[in-house]
Structure 1
Amino acid sequence: MDRAILVTGASGFVGSRTVEALVRVGCEVVCVDLVPEPNTGVLACDLCDAGRLWSVGASRDFAAIVHCGAISGPSLYRDEPDRVAWTNIASTINLLEFARKRSVPRFVFASSASVYGPTRVDLPVSEECALHPSSIYAASKVAGEALVEAYCRQYGISGVSLRIAAVYGPGRRTACVIRDMILAGLREEPFSLPCGRDQRYHYVHVDDVAAALSAAVHAPSLGAVAYTVAADQGIVSRALADLVREIVPGPPIAVAGTEDPLSDRQGPYELDAAARDLGWRPAIDLASGIRSYAEWLTSENLKIPLQINSVA
């Protein structure tokens, strides 16, 4: 791939790992972010400012755009729905217009599995399911997906949306139940969750997400407009708590049975489409991901004495 790849949100959790994944396979990457990290080469760019975007990208030709820059979850800015919608939708429109006018061959949109909304828990969730977003964040992702598909149909862009499950792993800065469970065990502190005991959650390791986004860039052709990206068919919170404590010993984790107001009840995800069309399957199962995350939190971040068990 001779031309560069533009990655937005390149200082963020998913964006930074995606840059690393692309560089490892020999890609030249141009990185932009609203608030770039010092000394990283990431360029400052408010994606809602079309003029700034064009200024940053004026002198380069691009083989692809990977759009990871956005307000990144339903728990952020819940009292500012206009900010969430404007930021996520306007940034996507500006990037699609840039792609159209600059003839960028591939557009990869980091969407969210929250677009499905609540589903029947006894039925699998496939990419063909109707979308019923239950938050403004999820609705903004539905809008982004619709814009990507419309630009593909009307202007011939080769675009795709990846519906990404809850991402965990080294470097996450926002709320993360898995991280908090691990840290409580490492510190030998009690920990409890106020809700969700029997509710299924879907997780995926950040390195698997980066690999999926890279695969979407390099796929010779796309058989669908969207793909689900998750580690498996999900796990209920009480089972997750037990798994974390098998790997990181500590006080028992109490999980209340109250409904989680920030997470939709959903069935198991079907993941065959991404394997078929993108050649991507998750490489990191949940137990392995938890173990490696605990090791990172211990040795690289908090210098907590290591006490991690293996789980077959």
Structure 2
Amino acid sequence: MTTLVTGGAGFIGFHVSERLLARGEEVIGLDNVNDYYSTKLKRDRVALLKERHERYEFIEADFADNAALQQATAGKRFDKIVHLGAQAGVRYSIENPYAYVQSNLVGHLNMLELARHRELGNFVYASSSSVYGGNDTLPFRVEDRVDHPLSLYAATKKSDELISETYSHLYRLPQTGLRFFTVYGPWGRPDMAMWLFTRAIYEGKPIQVFGEGNMRRDFTYIDDIVSGIVACHDNPPPDDGQVKAGGSRSPHRLYNIGNNRSEELTRMISLIEQACGREAVKELMPMQPGDVRDTYADISAIQRDLGYAPTTTIDVGVPRFVEWYRTYHGL
């Protein structure tokens, strides 16, 4: 079994590749290694996979450039795609909207075209909890309407779900879209709050706490996220005409992947402070455009269908992240 993993140099793509390789599969990682955040961190992830696994191949190419994608994958054999590559970040989508349309819309279409022409047996892709936008009924359920995105990033992810539904209906391409809830852990992204807070505390700088600290998030540890992705990778939705999670009768389903707990932002900060052994200087800031006040995942659909059961609380996961951060930076 060979799987093509886009966003292969990214946070989640790195960990998914590691899990698949560790159980004996072959993985082709694909990533354009852009400079949205540290390219060194991205290349360090790839280097570690190459060091650990002979069955890993990495291709540096932009899947949003269809000619480059076709050239990069010509002659490469793979059975499934886990499409995790995207332009991430809610706030950055306000600054650079074109990057999101190119990567998240054009890129998603390019990957679907690649999957359909290769007649692949499964296509798992990343959506986002951001699609729930202004919904105020918690926890968020995959059955909820998601017609009011609060950021362009969220709008592109909702659009990806619609495009995937069309391709699944027209070409019977088995697909699973995954709405991730605030993923964190070792090898994480430097633009995420947990990294930003940890770095500021170690550097003796104040942390900016948005929403005046009155925010809640369903923090999900990376190992639990990967378990959900791999379960979907192993179990493509059947094309049996039955209604799938998310409401489709095509072989296309949507799942929330979260920790099924909504934690106060201030509690997460307190755990970082404990792990760092020092207190943060906090600057309370207003809500940022595009942000939501609360997130909370209803994971009953993926629990029922695939037995997904997250096991890592933030009490365990946050110290693990801080320990990795300290080791990676030689602190």
Paired residues of 1:7 and 1:15 also in contact (CA < 8 A)? yes
Give, in whole Å, the separation in 2 of the partners of 1:181 and 1:52: 37
Distance 2:196 2:98 in 1: 30
1:99-110 matched pairs, under 5 angstroms: 99-110=115-126
Look up the equivalent residue of 1:103 and give its one-letter code: E
In structure 2, C-alpha distance between the alignment counterparts of 1:19 and 1:219, rounded to whole Å: 17
Q: How many residues of Structure 1 are paired with residues of Structure 2 in the alignment?
A: 300
- Deviation of residue 189 (structure 1)? 5.6
Aligned to 2:258: 230
From the superposition, tell whether residues 191 and 93 of structure 1 become closer, same or farther in structure 2 (CA, over 3 Å): closer
**Structure 1 position 77, deviation (Å):** 4.5
- Counterparts of 2:222 and 2:290, CA distance in 1: 21
1:12 Cα offset (Å): 1.1
2:187 to 142, 151, 171: 171
Distance 1:273 1:255, change over 3 A: farther
Q: Matched residues in 1 for 2:206 and 2:190: separation?
A: 21
Supply the AA of the counterpart residue of 2:308: W
Matching residue of 1:25: 23
The residue number in structure 1 matching 2:291 is 263
Aligned counterpart for 1:129 among listed residues 133, 144, 151: 144
C-alpha separation between the residues in 1 aligned to 2:207 and 2:277? 12
Amino acid of the residue matched to residue 134 of structure 1?
L
- Offset of 1:188 from its aligned partner? 6.0
Higher helix share: 2
**How much does 1:257 deviate?**
6.8
User: Does 2:302 correspond to 1:302?
Assistant: no
- Mapping 1:192-207, distance limit 5 Å: 192-207=208-223
Q: Structure 2 stretches of 5 or more lacking a match? A: 34-41, 51-56, 239-243, 246-252
Mapped pair 1:210 → 2:226? yes
Secondary structure of the structure 2 residue equivalent to 1:78: helix
Question: What SS does structure 1 have at the residue aligned with 2:92?
Answer: coil
Q: Structure 1 pair 285/179, CA: closer, same or farther in 2 (3 Å)?
A: same
Distance in 2 of aligned mates of 1:52 and 1:179: 33
Structure 2 residue corresponding to 1:82, chosen from 82, 94, 98: 98
Letter in 1 for 2:264: V
Q: Can you give the 5+ residue segments of structure 1 that lack an aligned partner in the other structure?
A: 305-312
1:249 maps to 277
Percent of residue pairs bearing the same amino acid type:
28
Match of 2:112 in 1: 96
- Stretch moving more, 150-159 or 176-185: 176-185
C-alpha distance in 1, partners of 2:151/2:183?
A: 18
- Report the CA distance shift for 1:261/1:92 in structure 2 as closer, same or farther (over 3 A): same
Distance change >3 Å, CA 6–CA 13, structure 1 → 2: same
Residues 66/196 of structure 1: CA separation in 2 closer, same or farther (3 Å cut):
farther
Deviation at 1:186, TM superposition (A): 4.7
Q: Tell whether the 8 Å contact from 1:6 to 1:65 is kept in structure 2 after alignment.
A: yes
Which deviates more, 182-191 or 205-214?
Answer: 182-191
Question: Deviation of residue 179 (structure 1)?
Answer: 2.4
Amino acid at match of 2:29: C
Alpha-carbon shift at residue 278 of structure 1 (Å) = 2.6
**Partners in 2 of 1:71 and 1:220 — Cα distance?**
25
Residue 36 of structure 2 is matched in structure 1 by none
Aligned-residue offset at 1:87 = 1.8
Q: CA, structure 1 residues 267+183, in 2 after alignment: closer, same or farther (shift >3 Å)?
A: closer
Letter in 2 for 1:24: A
**Structure 1 contact 162–228 (Cα < 8 Å) conserved:** yes
Give deviations 1:278-307, integer Å, cap 9, x for gaps.
332223211111011111122x22333xxx
